[in-house]
Amino acid sequence: MSPTPPIPHRKNMRTHPTSRGISLNAILLFITVIVGIVAWVIGINIYSFEANIIAMPLLIGIIFLILYLFLIVTIFAYSISTGIFEENIITGSSQLSSSGFLIIIIGVLVFGLSILFQWIYGMNYTNEVQQPTAYIFVIDDSGSMAENDPQQLRYNAISSVLENVDPDFPYMIYGFSNDVEIISGMIPASNGIPRITGDSTGGTSIRAALDKVIQDKISGVWDGGTSPKVILLTDGYATDIGLFKSIHGVLKTYVKNRISISTVGLGDVDESLMNKIAKMTGGVYIDVSDASGLAEAMSSAATQYTSRDLLSTRYTTNLNLLYAVLRIIFISILGVIIGFATAVAYGVQESSTLIVVSSAIKSVVGAILMEVCTDVMGFSDKIIWLVLWILISLTLATKHTTYKRGPRRPSRNRSSRRLIY
């Protein structure tokens, strides 16, 4: 049996030629958007739980550093693992350690600048200290108060607050449980506190109480001047807030009317709600474990306001334009630096210009949105913060793609056409 003869090469058997092109790296774009969302979730939780513990400049520095680390480490790992990384875009070195060292240096710069920028943004540039023009005390008189404040020291605490104001300083008192009522109308501090005996019965209708206060202000029941301040004292959880009864709309009315609410929580309270009410309206939350500390707690709540920070709504109106410009400039600078770091981590010289230029545009847009949407339009600062983080994280980069070219089709001309008669 003779062996099968080899198949001869045919001259017309040719492999298709290949071409190399450049395309947008859609995978990286998707990954960086997810990273921005994850960094926002972590940042917003740190902000919520540590805002009253860590100094604000340090807190903002930590939050920006978290975004930086998550984004840059992800891009660096992706670029190396996929073989996209080519070189240090500054030195041209192909060694990973060269780019890694530069990434660390930029990270320290981002951390330091974010601390510095927040410190500058949080400063008061005038000697004028914001002072309330009236106090509106909103006092919990629910059933749980019989146990937490049996001696009704909450009303004595109001006297302690009024000791530090001028005799003609106006104030009024609301009481609430299931219902809301005006205990004392707007009177000067020199009149003293009327004799009040709480019932300490019923539920804790926090939403209804705050809604009545602001509606009374709008309808002209009381006039507290240009900067009235509400001080809410409660010892429990709201019984009129749930899935279909949000307090958000009520608080937005306070924001629109530039009225701040400081909250005082006695004992076991809904700290998340207390922080939300205070933070959203520009006040502070003060917690106190025992009724004996109510006087000091309410005095602190009466005189303190939420500090300005780069990532939340600004409630003070003094030098508003200056702070608006500062926020836009500072966030834009930090976004551009982070964008440059992403170009370093990606390690492709051809993509570096696109990454840096697009980062500059996205950062400026995000900074303007943070300022306009929170301060002018009244949108939730947390949602705009998320948009900002996505814009900064979203990385527009290119990659090389190789594809096969099909065989060239023969050109058709008139001489090759067959004439049919």
In which residue are the tokens 């600048």 written?
Answer: 113
Q: What is the DSSP string of 60-129?
A: HHHHHHHHHHHHHHHHHHHHHHTT-----TTT----HHHHHHHHHHHHHHHHHHHHHHHHHHT---SSPP
Given 270, 303, 336, the domain boundary residue is: 303
312 within a domain of the structure (yes/no): no
Strands 180-188 and 228-234: unpaired
Q: Domain span at residue 335?
A: 22-124+317-403
Q: What's the confidence (pLDDT) of residue 419? A: 41
409 within a domain of the structure (yes/no): no
197 within a domain of the structure (yes/no): yes
142 and 253 co-located in one domain:
yes
341 and 256 co-located in one domain:
no
238 within a domain of the structure (yes/no): yes
Q: How many CB atoms within 10 Å of residue 18? A: 9
73 and 151 co-located in one domain:
no
Structural domains in the chain (count): 2
416 within a domain of the structure (yes/no): no
196 and 341 co-located in one domain:
no
338 and 377 co-located in one domain:
yes
Nearest alpha-carbon partner for 311 in 111, 60, 50, 119: 60
Biggest alpha carbon–alpha carbon distance for the chain: 125
9 within a domain of the structure (yes/no): no
The string of pLDDT tens digits covering residues 250-308 is 988 888 888 889 999 988 888 888 888 887 787 888 888 888 888 888 988 888 777 78
% of residues, the chain, pLDDT over 70: 86
Stated as kind and residue range, the H or E segment containing 388 is helix 381-393
d(CA 228, CA 404): 72
Q: What is the DSSP string of 199-268?
A: ---S---HHHHHHHHHHHHHHTS----SSEEEEEEESS--SS-BTTB-SHHHHHHHHHTT-EEEEEEESS
Average pLDDT taken over every residue of the chain: 84
253 and 349 co-located in one domain:
no
Q: For residue 164, what is the domain's CATH number?
A: 3.40.50.410
C-alpha pair distances (Å), 57 with each of 19, 61, 87, 111, 378: 52, 6, 35, 10, 24
129 within a domain of the structure (yes/no): no
In which residue are the tokens 């660096």 written?
Answer: 76
240 and 279 co-located in one domain:
yes
Q: What's the confidence (pLDDT) of residue 421? A: 39
Q: Which two tokens stand for residue 178?
A: 């299931």
Mean pLDDT by 10 residues, the chain (421 residues): 53 50 83 95 87 84 96 95 88 86 96 96 67 91 86 88 91 92 92 80 90 94 90 88 76 85 89 83 86 88 80 72 91 95 92 91 93 76 92 83 54 46 39
234 and 188 co-located in one domain:
yes
Q: Contact at 8 Å (CB) between 363 and 331?
A: yes
96 and 221 co-located in one domain:
no
Given 303, 328, 362, the domain boundary residue is: 303
50 within a domain of the structure (yes/no): yes
Given 240, 275, 303, the domain boundary residue is: 303
114 and 161 co-located in one domain:
no
180 and 155 co-located in one domain:
yes
Nearest alpha-carbon partner for 138 in 307, 16, 301: 301
Residues 6 or more apart in contact with residue 84 via CB below 8 angstroms: 25, 78, 346, 347, 348, 399
Q: What's the confidence (pLDDT) of residue 57? A: 92
The string of pLDDT tens digits covering residues 14-48 is 555 555 557 788 899 999 999 999 999 999 999 87
Q: Contact at 8 Å (CB) between 172 and 230?
A: no
Q: What's the confidence (pLDDT) of residue 420? A: 43
d(CA 139, CA 153): 11
Q: What's the confidence (pLDDT) of residue 235? A: 86
d(CA 181, CA 318): 34
284 and 326 co-located in one domain:
no
Beta pairing partners, 34: none
